């Protein structure tokens, strides 16, 4: 679990930096960057909650269903808000949304770097669920 929390912290730092860079260089698309990052971080926190304790298949399947439902809702919301805007606004909105959603995946890759692992001092977790 400690590694999952380290990934959450790294993803949050990435999301904040991504929002600041987007705000500075592309202020029109800040809402999509923040919305993508917030959705990914929220889904990750739900995943941490659903995997605590004893493994339950029904809870895990419900979480997967909920996760992809959130992604579909966010994508539909983005499409509905940007479909009538001129130029390539819809395309850029989806790009910023996708980069925000990928914040968690990038945090996993960042945590694989040896120097970052030493920074968090991640040790084996005693209360990690054991497969039987």
Beta carbons within 10 angstroms of residue 101's beta carbon: 19
Identify whether 126 is part of a domain.
no
Global pTM? 0.82
Read off the pLDDT of residues 53-68 as tens digits, 9 standing for 90 and up.
Answer: 887 888 889 999 999 9
130 located within any domain:
no
pLDDT in tens, 37-49: 999 999 999 888 8
Q: Does any domain span residue 20?
A: yes
Number of domains within the chain = 1
Residue 90 in any domain: the answer is yes
Evaluate whether residue 14 is within a structural domain: yes
Residue 127 lies in a domain: no
Confidence of residue 127 (pLDDT cuts 50, 70, 90): low
Local confidence band at 122 (pLDDT 50, 70, 90 cut-offs): low
Domain residues for the domain of 85 are 2-120
Q: What is the mean pLDDT of residues 82-103?
A: 94
Does the pLDDT value for residue 125 go beyond 70?
Answer: no
């Amino acid at each position: 679990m400690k590694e999952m929390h380290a990934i959450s912290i790294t993803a949050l730092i990435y999301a904040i930096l991504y929002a600041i860079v987007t705000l500075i260089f592309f202020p029109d698309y800040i809402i999509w960057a923040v919305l993508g990052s917030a959705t990914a971080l929220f889904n990750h926190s739900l995943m941490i909650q659903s995997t605590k304790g004893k493994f339950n298949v029904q809870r895990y399947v419900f979480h997967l269903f909920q996760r992809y439902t959130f992604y579909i809702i966010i994508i539909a919301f983005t499409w509905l808000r940007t479909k009538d805007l001129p130029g390539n606004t819809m395309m850029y909105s989806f790009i910023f949304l996708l980069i925000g959603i990928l914040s968690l995946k990038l945090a996993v890759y960042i945590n694989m770097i040896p120097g970052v692992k030493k920074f968090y001092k991640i040790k084996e977790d005693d209360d990690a669920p054991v497969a039987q």
